[in-house]
């Protein structure tokens, strides 16, 4: 019983006391007497968001695994192809390892760590963030078996979806698929390069050898993707029904070049972003979404930040074009574009892109908006949209409204971050979470047995998928908590990944406000 209580404590997490407040307990005593408790605990949300990635691990789990209802799985991945492909992440509620969304997940975790390193460290979550990143990059190193070969996928969605099993019981195909010179996949190679380049920045100080290794792979992958061009879903046909590359590969090539420039400071990569800005759509596409498939808005935002650096003044005309497209995205999210060029919202104000897994677009938007708000603040600028002026405070306030909606400030009082708050989805569309834990019941649960005995159960899932951000409500703020309602109740790694940095930033703001208010109260009380 005690072990079970301890496991539950680790799964659900306990809110940490932020460091900034540890030395002002007296101030807090006076402060909490007169002030309502803050509505949302961003420290808890941050902690739980990182726990989710441990639920999604494939391979041999480490000794410090905190999600105790999971066990080892996929230990023979790659065996048929005589390559070690053990590890990495399952992308969602199934057990296929899809390379493109996995790489984007790692890119976003790394970008969050780069932007909000200190804020994550202050919340005592830096080690867990780096572990989440490294679990992905360790796999990418394995999957990149030679300069022009990258293993793109393990398993296939069609056979996987016939079964409802725990990952520990998998009987579905573990066929592996690769891209190479004859079967190219520029989008996948470039996104993996971006992930490894971004991660190399994260590990530069703490693990320089590993950082160098990641950078070496990133440079090779970019060269491979650029030299042998083609869409990866044309080479790996089994992925088309699940993660087809609708935007093509040009956005990923620009994106990878940008991250390699940030990681190396080599002009050849920056020149690539400038010289191909028009032909690859970087300065042409005005986009209202940012996702595992469409990278333009993120690319445009990073490019626009270079305008303030003296050494890039000679390219200011191209960078201004990038900036105008980045600002189109920001303005569309804030409803400040004229006409019908804004992102739709639900009646309660949530950004709404499309019916299937809408929360992925909300989380990526909150991240880009937070980064741009910081940029405006640091450069003492406002944003001029054709529908009005926006300050960095207004942008950040909107970010907070979206995050608070996710955490429970919505018509259903439902937290869409699983395991957070008193009310959250209980029937997440997730094989492992919906079946009794392998640690409790090691008896084999077969393919159809899982459907018969667990998928169709009315009750809540036996395991809580802590930190998972589900697909979320429809365009009228309605949500049906049913396992078969996968458009709303399935969660994905790339949903949660952008929130890690955002939670850390909002936590810092709340801590500063709390610290300031408590000190003001102390001064006035004496």
Beta strand residue intervals within 342-408, DSSP E = 344-345, 351-352, 383-385, 388-390
With contact defined as beta carbons under 8 Å apart, do 376 and 334 qualify? no
Residue 436: count other Cβ atoms within 10 Å of its Cβ: 16
Backbone angles phi, psi at 178, to 5 degrees: -130, 165
CA distance linking residue 157 with residue 167, whole number of Å: 14
Alpha carbon distance 444, 19 (integer Å): 46
Tokens of 282: 């970087």
Catalytic member of 95, 144, 217, 429: 429
Structure tokens at 374: 């910081």
Q: Residue 60 has what DSSP assignment?
A: S
The catalytic residue among 125, 251, 490, 510 is 490
Q: Give me the helices (H) in 203-295, please.
A: 208-227, 232-235, 240-243, 250-264, 267-275
The dihedrals phi and psi of 470, each to the nearest 5 degrees, come to -75, 175
Q: C-alpha distances in angstroms, 58 versus 53, 137, 146, 384? A: 10, 13, 23, 46
Alpha-carbon distances of 168 from 60, 71, 75, 98, 446, rounded to whole Å = 11, 6, 9, 18, 11
Q: How far apart are CA 99 and CA 191, in angstroms?
A: 9
392 vs 7: CA distance, rounded Å: 42
- Does an H or E element contain 376, and which? helix 359-378
3-state secondary structure 113-148: HHHCHHHHHHCCCHHHHHHHHHHHHHHHHHHCCECC
490 is known as an active-site residue:
yes
**Distance of alpha carbon 47 from alpha carbon 179, whole angstroms:** 36
Instruction: Look up 429 and say whether it is catalytic.
Output: yes
Whole-angstrom distance, CA of residue 462 vs CA of residue 453: 13
Please list the active-site residues: 94, 429, 481, 490
């Amino acid at each position: 019983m005690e072990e079970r209580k301890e496991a539950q404590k680790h799964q659900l997490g306990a809110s940490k006391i932020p460091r900034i407040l540890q030395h002002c307990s007296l101030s807090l005593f006076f402060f909490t007497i007169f002030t309502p408790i803050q509505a949302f605990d961003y420290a808890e949300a941050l902690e739980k968001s990182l726990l989710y990635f441990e639920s999604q691990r494939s391979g041999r789990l480490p000794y410090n695994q905190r999600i105790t209802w999971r066990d080892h799985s996929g230990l023979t991945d790659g065996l048929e192809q005589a390559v070690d492909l053990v590890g990495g992440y399952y992308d969602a509620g199934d057990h296929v390892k899809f390379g493109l969304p996995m790489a984007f997940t790692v890119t976003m975790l790394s970008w969050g760590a780069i932007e909000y390193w200190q804020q994550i460290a202050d919340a005592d979550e830096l080690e867990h963030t780096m572990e989440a990143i490294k679990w992905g990059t360790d796999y990418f190193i394995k999957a990149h078996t030679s300069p022009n070969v990258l293993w793109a996928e393990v398993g296939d969605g069609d056979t996987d979806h016939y079964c409802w099993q725990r990952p520990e019981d998998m009987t579905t195909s573990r066929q592996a698929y690769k891209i190479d010179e004859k079967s190219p996949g520029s989008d996948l190679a470039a996104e993996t390069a971006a992930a490894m380049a971004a991660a190399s920045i994260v590990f530069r100080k703490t693990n320089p050898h590993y950082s160098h290794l990641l950078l070496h792979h990133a440079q090779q992958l970019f060269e491979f993707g650029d030299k042998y061009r083609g869409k990866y879903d044309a080479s790996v046909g089994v992925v088309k029904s699940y993660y087809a590359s609708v935007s093509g590969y040009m956005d990923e090539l620009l994106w990878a070049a940008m991250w390699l420039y940030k990681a190396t400071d080599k002009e050849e990569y920056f020149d690539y972003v400038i010289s191909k800005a028009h032909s690859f759509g970087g300065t042409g596409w005005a986009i209202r979404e940012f996702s595992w498939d469409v990278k333009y808005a993120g690319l445009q935002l990073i490019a626009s930040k270079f305008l303030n650096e003296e050494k890039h003044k000679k390219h200011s005309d191209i960078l201004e074009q990038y900036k105008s497209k980045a600002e189109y995205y920001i303005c569309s999210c804030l409803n400040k574009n004229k006409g019908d060029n804004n992102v739709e919202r639900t009646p309660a104000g949530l950004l709404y892109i499309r019916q299937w897994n809408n929360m992925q677009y909300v989380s990526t938007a909150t991240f880009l908006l937070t980064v741009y708000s910081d940029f405006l603040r640091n450069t003492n600028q406002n944003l001029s949209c054709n529908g009005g002026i926006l300050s960095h405070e207004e942008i950040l306030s909107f970010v907070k409204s979206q995050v608070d909606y996710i955490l429970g400030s919505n018509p259903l009082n439902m937290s869409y971050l699983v395991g957070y708050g008193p009310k959250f989805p209980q029937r997440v569309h997730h094989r492992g979470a919906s079946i009794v834990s392998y640690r409790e019941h090691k008896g084999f649960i077969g393919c159809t047995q899982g459907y018969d005995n667990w998928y169709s159960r009315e009750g809540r899932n036996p395991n809580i998928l802590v930190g998972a951000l589900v697909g979320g409500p429809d365009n009228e703020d309605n949500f049906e908590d049913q396992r078969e309602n996968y458009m709303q109740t399935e969660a994905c790694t790339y949903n949660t990944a952008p929130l890690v940095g955002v939670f850390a930033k909002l936590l810092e703001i709340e801590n500063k406000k709390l610290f300031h208010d408590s000190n003001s109260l102390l001064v006035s009380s004496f």
